[in-house]
Structures are given as C-alpha cells and as structure tokens.
C-alpha cells in the first residue's frame, strides 16, 4: 500500500513510542498487562510496515515463515508451565541471536552475488547496487558475532535451567586461557573481515563466536543463571539493533536498543542485589562452581528440628504476623494457588500475611512475582527485600517455601562463604522460622544453609503444594 510506504517513518515512530510505553508498563505488576498490549500493537505495526516497505518481497516465504512461527509460538505458550518459564525465555533469546546471524550471512552473500553481476544490467532491472561500505561491514561484524555468542550461550542457559545432561558446567584452570584464546581469535578474524571483506575470515569469526558463546557461559554456576538470562536478554537486543543498522530499519534499531539497554540495567540491578560485579559473575567463577559442599567426614553432623504440617498450621493460626518467602521450590511444586489459599485463610482469622521477594529468587528475574500474580495475590501484599527486611525481628512466623541462598545467614556471618556480602532476606531474625523442603539437600548454588539448623527453625519435608494444602487443612481443623 502506497499510504503505508509514504508514511513508514511515522508508523515506525508510533511503534517506537509504544515500545517505550511497553517497558514502562512492564516495570510494575499492576501495569504489566497494559505494557504487554502496547508491545503487541507496536510489533504488529513494525511487521506490517516493514512488509510493505520491503523491496520485491517474496510474499509466500514471508507469510509462510510468519504462520509457522505463530503456530509454534501459540502452541508453546499454551503448553509451557510456569516452572519452565526461565528456560523458555533463554530459548527465545537464542532464536533472536540466531536470527541476527542468519540475517548477517544473508546480507553478505546477497551483496557478494550482486557484486559479480553487471551494474548496468542491475540498474536496468530496477536494482540499486552499492558496494558495502566500511560502516556496513562493521555493523555486520558486530551484529553477527554478538548474535552468534547470544545463540549458543542462550542454548546452554536453556539446557542448564532445564537440567539437560548435555549442559554440563565446566571448570578448571584451563577454562579462562581457552576463553581468552577463542575470543582473541574471533576478534582477529572479525577485524580482518572488516578490513578486507574476506569471506573466510567472516566464516571463521562466526564459527569461533558460536564456540565462544558456549565456553563463556558453561563455567557459570546455577546460582548465577538469573543474571545470565538477564544479560543474554540484553545481548539479544544489541544484536537486533546491529542488524537493524545493516537493514537500515529504524524500528529494529529502536526496539533492539530498548531491549539491550533495559536488559543491561536489569543485570546491573541483580548483580547489585547479589553484591557482585557482572565481571565476577561471568569471568570470576560461579557461586555454584566455587562452592565446596563440606563432606560429612570433614565436619560434624549438624542437627535440625523437623515438624509436621499440623504443627505449622497451629503456629501460624496463633500468630499475629506471618511473612511468606517463596523460592524455586514453590515454582517446582506449582504451589502458588495453594499458598494464596493459605494466606487468605490466615487473613480471615485476623493474621497479617505478607510476601517477601528477593530480586534473584527463582531462576529468572521476577520469577516469584510472576507466580504470585498468576495466583492473583494482591500486589500490596508483595514486598521487595528492602521494604520488608526491617520487619522480620517483629514477625511471629516466617514460612520459607523452597528458598535457599536468598535466606542463608552465611551471606552476613561467614566471610569464607562464596555468597558472603550478598544481601539476603533476613528471615533468621523472626521469632519462628518454618521451611518447606523436599530434603536437606543444598540449593541451586550448592551451598549448605545455616538457617536450616537454627534453633528457631522447624523443617517440614515434602512437596510444597501438598505440605501447604495440609497446613490449610490443619488451620481449618480438618487435619486430624
């Protein structure tokens, strides 16, 4: 349509504004739904406008690819569970990186093939050909290697989060030298391509970038995966922005830059919450990789106190205030709806119930917030770490559901701990602590938790959903 083609820049501007409103909406749970809608409208405008401004588009290929993507996307959205959301997000990032690589490859091959043809013949057929400038080569260089790193790094993050056997953490003194050698070789091949346009160097750069992405993320331990997912989100945005320059598509540049910058800011916030630098997370060894689980032969067995769901129900029903700390165990047990029912029942009995959220709880940014929002837990009952930490000493009961490192007092008390200095939810200061876990096994970062052996702590073993449901029955007087 001529109208869309003539006013393409205006449509792109509208889309850019909507993408900005999307980020603003996604900054809070109350406005997240509206933010998502803005994003959907913006993407629809971007796709339709680009479709009509493209020169000589192969319609059946474009429509076919869009239809296939829609089918896969809808099917995945309908079947994925909330516990699988972190790895699903990582997998989506990998596709953005792969798209950036394929677009860069297609652009270069297309340009090289046109360069072999007669310029006059091309002009006679309405094709305007200009040899790629150094600027275009640089854009392709950046977009391609960032996209390649994002692709394989995200694939590994997906495997790690989904507990795939092939996504094994690597460690050893050889790792960092190998990472450095691959990166230097990749960068050297990329510079040679940029200076000469040599295709062999381009393929070498791409291949080395794919290898580097894997080797770069493989040493990172499980405790740092939420930061990695956030950072890869940023990388996917910058890769898209780089390719946007290559395709001279303003909308892709704006959208990619927004994703890249917001992902970088979120990564910084999460690292700050862990009291670590992004360099330390990515190159200094992971919490899970550096933590040493003490063998029973090296240290005397530690005693813990266990109890039942009936005991927990009695204590909570007689409390004035209860704080619930959700962790990945709640996600794994799909217990969010049962937890909401428990909270509502306690409120009916006059108990003040609130939820305490740590910035890196779960396996992706905002994981616990999403689960609680899915269960329609009131937003005003959900408090961030900085808002609620000062209230723990006056709290009668803290119920920890499958959280480990984010409530580990070693982060404050043990200078030898790998997580020393990391801000935590200070649940250990409450009058009574109850912890729901399947066993005494360590958490995702591989660290034993001092909270579990606290004199004020009662361990309740079992599936989180079943245990919470039994607590609700006990409070109702039906647990006997």
Kindly state the tokens that stand for 13: 């501007």
Q: Is 405 noted as a catalytic residue in this protein?
A: yes
Of the candidates 224, 310, 386, 405, the residue annotated as catalytic is 405
- End-to-end distance of the chain based on CA atoms, in angstroms? 72
Tokens 């063998």: give the residue: 295
Kindly state the tokens that stand for 346: 């306690």
Catalytic residues, by residue number, are 405
């Amino acid at each position: 349509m001529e109208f869309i083609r003539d006013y393409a820049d205006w449509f792109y501007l509208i889309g850019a504004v909507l993408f900005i409103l999307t980020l603003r909406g996604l900054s809070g749970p109350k406005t997240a739904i509206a933010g998502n809608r803005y994003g959907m409208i913006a993407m629809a405008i971007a796709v339709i406008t680009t479709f009509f401004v493209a020169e000589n588009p192969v319609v059946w290929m474009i429509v076919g690819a869009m239809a296939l993507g829609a089918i896969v996307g809808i099917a995945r959205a309908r079947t994925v569970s909330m516990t699988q959301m972190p790895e699903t997000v990582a997998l989506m990032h990998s596709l953005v990186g792969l798209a950036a690589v394929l677009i860069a490859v297609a652009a270069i091959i297309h340009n090289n093939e046109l360069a072999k043809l007669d310029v006059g013949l091309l002009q006679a057929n309405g094709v305007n050909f200009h040899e790629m400038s150094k600027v275009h080569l640089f854009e392709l260089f950046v977009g391609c290697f960032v996209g390649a790193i994002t692709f394989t790094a995200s694939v590994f993050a997906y495997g790690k989060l989904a507990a795939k056997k092939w996504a094994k953490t690597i460690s050893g003194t050889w790792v960092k030298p190998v990472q450095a050698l691959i990166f230097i070789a990749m960068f050297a091949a990329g510079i040679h391509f940029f200076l000469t346009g040599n295709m062999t160097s381009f393929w070498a750069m791409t291949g080395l970038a794919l290898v580097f992405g894997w080797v770069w993320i493989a040493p990172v331990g499980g405790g740092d995966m939420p930061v990695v997912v956030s950072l890869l989100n940023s990388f996917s945005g910058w890769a898209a922005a780089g390719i946007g320059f290559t395709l001279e598509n303003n909308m892709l540049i704006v959208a990619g830059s927004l994703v890249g910058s917001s992902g970088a800011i979120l990564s910084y916030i999460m690292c700050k919450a862990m009291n670590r630098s992004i360099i330390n997370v990515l190159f200094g060894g992971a919490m899970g990789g550096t933590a040493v689980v003490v063998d029973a032969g090296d240290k005397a067995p530690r005693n813990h106190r266990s109890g039942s769901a009936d005991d927990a129900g009695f204590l909570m029903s007689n409390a004035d205030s209860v704080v619930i700390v959700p962790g990945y165990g709640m996600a794994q047990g799909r217990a969010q709806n049962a937890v909401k029912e428990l909270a509502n029942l306690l409120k009916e009995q006059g108990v003040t119930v609130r939820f305490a959220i740590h910035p890196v709880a779960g396996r992706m940014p905002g994981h616990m917030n999403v689960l609680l929002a899915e269960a329609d837990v009131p937003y005003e009952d959900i408090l961030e770490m900085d808002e609620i930490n000062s209230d723990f000493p006056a709290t009668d009961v803290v119920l920890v559901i499958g959280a480990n490192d984010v409530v580990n007092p070693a982060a404050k008390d043990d200078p030898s701990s790998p997580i020393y200095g990391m801000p935590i939810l200070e649940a250990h200061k409450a009058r009574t602590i109850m912890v729901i876990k399947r066993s005494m096994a360590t958490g995702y970062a591989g660290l034993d938790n001092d909270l579990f052996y606290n004199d004020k702590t009662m361990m309740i073993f079992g599936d989180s959903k079943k245990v919470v449901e039994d607590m609700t029955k006990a409070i109702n007087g039906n647990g006997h």
